[in-house]
Chains A and B, each alone.
Chain A
């Protein structure tokens, strides 16, 4: 039974490692300027956690195989190094490992979260509500009109609660249900929630950020590959959570200009 246990653990360990080594399941290729740092951090962590996983499971299997069901006549032994050696080894190996992961991880995190967006980054506002995203582009004046939550009315397509009658800045604002951005141009995303918590997750862009009702949150990124990607909500927001999504189109600058013009005409 003990040997069977040891074999089972060894088999589970190998089977668990195969999909990782074969890259069977992993995130889609990165299309952002900052994402490679996250991917590198992920690979390093995978290597370190993977070695720890395989080593610990196989040692457990080995010792169970070797030392179970031995008769009373066999001599008990202690691991020669004793607890002290294990504590020192753990402190050194894991200590260095977590220090390295922590320090290198700062760079990946800071690239996205601790550096401000470039001054010429393109501002886009995104509003999350049960169960849709809406996007707003500031129009030719480069300014967003003020929001008036009390004016929000989905029936009359007034998603943001703009007061176009009195507020000049809001008159040229372009509101869309899909998001389009030009390739290789930094985007400054201004995020707010209409009702409850939501989240903005685009796997290919390596961004995920919660919307916080009552707080304006911002995010900035640059997409490097033209294509169509899914934006999904990852913060439980109610019964339609599973279905809360929008598409992100990364376009060439010309196509983007064309798209924006078309959207402006539909306002």
Chain B
């Protein structure tokens, strides 16, 4: 609870443009910087996916302007197989790291975690500033690989060894491209470690009076649990990336085995382990899936309660479920490696916890769905995206039943079934969490409302579009359509090309819908209707302060918390809710601490 030994950093109101907007120490500015970075990254990642989709549907199509961007990768605007793989690698890396980790965790977490605990800032604002600028540098390093040498690495976002370690003889981008990739990701890890440190300390030490852990909003819990995962997962990936760099520049052989031959030349490495990389990568990689989705679980629960006008059936159970997902995420990672050549007994050992993880996920969905029962659900852009999140989480989740089993994985591994699964559950669902968070919190962040009509158009196109894209991915996978193929030349894949064309059309339309969102975001930022302090009649601390909040969040006051975070459906002097920071006592039929 309120601890006098640690304080939020005391800094004065910033003056000057640089301190205010560039190298800011204010967690809110840093949160917005993370959001802007994620938005730019998402647009780039999406543009890359458009090029890939057009190429998969119409392999000989010349894409206007592409030759200018990459004369070697797309001569005459037609994508070469290697350029396809480079685009794919960059799409995956940008989306997983710089969008799905950055937006729900670093952006919203930075902005709202300190406010939701009632703090003036985080305890280490300089680390916080550094965390953003290191992440930003990481992004620049990654993007720079488009413009140097023979382009970005083509090894996929998973960068399997020893393709990632032998060097440029194994393909375009496999020399400098890999080094830049590994440098970027190692930097990214540093940024997230600094961020996680701040998040954990903020949650544990900076809660205001009356704010016990169980009174924390569920979104704050989600960021806290995510930062605990981040601290352990990124601290494994960072050294792994450093080892890859050493294999390239220092002649080491961490990931290259003896006796390999490339272009009839014996590779001058020996004694490394191919599978070591996979263990290190997936020990990070599976928790990373939850790093992307757990903030969404928290954000969506938070938003749904404000819109249902009643609390969830049990906030405590939801928190335990998020905790269970986090803990289990470390012992399920081997399901990515069932057919990797790992000991087949290990595959069974990794299969059981993977199946078990469906239990907390199922409980979470049941709590959401059955909490809607008997509510007074308000439909707006934020709640629509939150409901869409649940639908996507279910659709992407059930395919996990298949991929958790090694015997079935024999047929589905490395097919579009896997691509459909993770795009739905950690791609689309996490993006819907980001959109829900944006429509919900934008008024607080920008002081203006977003356009609801455009928001709803954005939702409908995205929701139906995402199903049209990713449901057929599953069907393709059932047939055995292999992923990461630049062109489908196999006899059994050619009949599937019409399905790919349909998916491409759906992807272009759904992508267009995202431009509506960007327009809405920018237009509303400057010309939106001014927002009141609490437009959604919500209860947690971010709605108790001015809109937008002053630099020290509560204008120098320290709020005191009197209630659970979700006192909806009560009769109080302001309506059917009681603010967490309001001393008013009302009759309630749900838990009060």
Contacts and interface: CB of A to CB of B under 8 A. Distances in A.
B479 A26 contact: yes
Interface string B388-401: 00110011001101
B154 interface: yes
Given A26-B478, A113-B347, A235 B341 contact: no
Contacts of A217: 341
A236 B160 contact: yes
B359 A42 contact: no
A241 B485 contact: yes
A81 B313 CA distance: 10
Given A8-B463, A63-B369, A208-B414, A105 B408 contact: yes
B370 A67 contact: no
A237 interface: yes
B488 A242 contact: yes
B376 A74 contact: yes
Interface residues of A, number: 104
Given A83-B314, A212-B275, A49 B401 contact: yes
Contact of B374 (A76, A105, A195): A76
Contacts of A109: 344, 347-348, 405-407
Interface in A38-75: 38, 41-42, 45-46, 48-50, 52-53, 56-57, 59-60, 63-64, 66-72, 74
Contact of B339 (A2, A46, A209): A209
A152 interface: yes
A49 B399 contact: yes
B367 A27 contact: no
A45 B402 contact: yes
B246 to A, nearest CB: 18
A76 B569 contact: yes
B508 interface: no
B366 A86 contact: yes
B272 A236 contact: no
Contact of A12 (B170, B275, B369, B467): B467
B410 A112 contact: yes
B273 A214 contact: yes
A214 B162 CA distance: 10
Interface string A149-165: 11011110000010000
Nearest to B570: A76
Contacts of B512: none
A56 B341 contact: no
Interface string A175-217: 0000000000000000001111101010100111111111101
A153 B264 CA distance: 5
Contacts of A251: none
B387 A64 contact: yes
Contacts of B344: 109, 113-114
A81 to B, nearest CB: 8
Interface in A14-29: 16, 19, 24-28
Given A53-B395, A238-B170, A86 B367 contact: yes
A113 B480 CA distance: 21
Contacts of B404: 98, 101
B264 A155 contact: yes
A101 B401 contact: yes
A238 B80 CA distance: 12
Contact of A241 (B341, B387, B406, B484): B484
Contacts of B413: 208, 234
A210 B406 contact: no
A130 interface: yes
Interface string A208-231: 111111110100000000000010
Interface stretch (A89-97, A133-141, A255-263): A89-97
Contact of B377 (A48, A69, A95): A69
Contact of B482 (A81, A150, A197, A234): A234
A240 B480 CA distance: 19
A149 B464 contact: no
A209 B340 CA distance: 7
B3 interface: no
B445 to A, nearest CB: 25
A210 B339 contact: yes
Nearest to B366: A86
Contacts of A42: 402, 408, 411
A266 B484 CA distance: 36
A238 B482 CA distance: 15
Nearest to B576: A72
Most-contacted residue by chain B among A114, A155, A242, A245 (CB, 10 A): A242
B163 A78 contact: no
A250 interface: no
Nearest to A148: B259
Given A101-B405, A197-B160, A239-B154, A38 B411 contact: yes
Contacts of A242: 81, 484-489
A121 interface: no
B61 to A, nearest CB: 17
B291 to A, nearest CB: 24
A45 B359 contact: no
B518 interface: no
Given A38-B407, A68-B379, A130 B475 contact: no
Contacts of B395: 16, 53, 57
A149 B482 contact: no
B171 A78 contact: no
Contact of A90 (B362, B471, B491): B362
Given A12-B467, A215-B274, A67 B377 contact: yes
B18 interface: no
B262 interface: yes
Most buried by A among B80, B258, B370, B407: B407
Interface string B457-490: 0001001100100010001101110101111111
A121 to B, nearest CB: 17
Nearest to B491: A230
B371 interface: yes
Nearest to B405: A105
B306 interface: no
B528 interface: no
Given A64-B377, A197-B162, A243-B489, A214 B266 contact: no
Most buried by B among A8, A25, A108, A213: A213
B511 interface: no
Minimum-distance CB pairs A-B, first 9: A214-B257, A77-B374, A83-B314, A108-B407, A113-B344, A239-B82, A98-B355, A212-B341, A68-B377
Interface of B: 80-82, 85, 154-156, 160-163, 166, 170-172, 174, 256-262, 264, 266-267, 272-275, 309-310, 313-314, 317, 339-341, 344-345, 347-348, 351-352, 355-356, 358-359, 362-363, 365-367, 369-379, 384, 387, 390-391, 394-395, 398-399, 401-402, 404-411, 413-415, 456, 460, 463-464, 467, 471, 475-476, 478-480, 482, 484-492, 569, 576
30 contacts: A2-B379, A5-B384, A16-B467, A24-B475, A38-B408, A53-B395, A57-B394, A60-B387, A60-B391, A63-B369, A64-B377, A69-B378, A69-B379, A71-B376, A72-B576, A79-B373, A83-B317, A87-B363, A91-B363, A105-B351, A109-B344, A114-B345, A152-B261, A195-B267, A197-B161, A201-B414, A206-B410, A209-B339, A210-B341, A242-B487
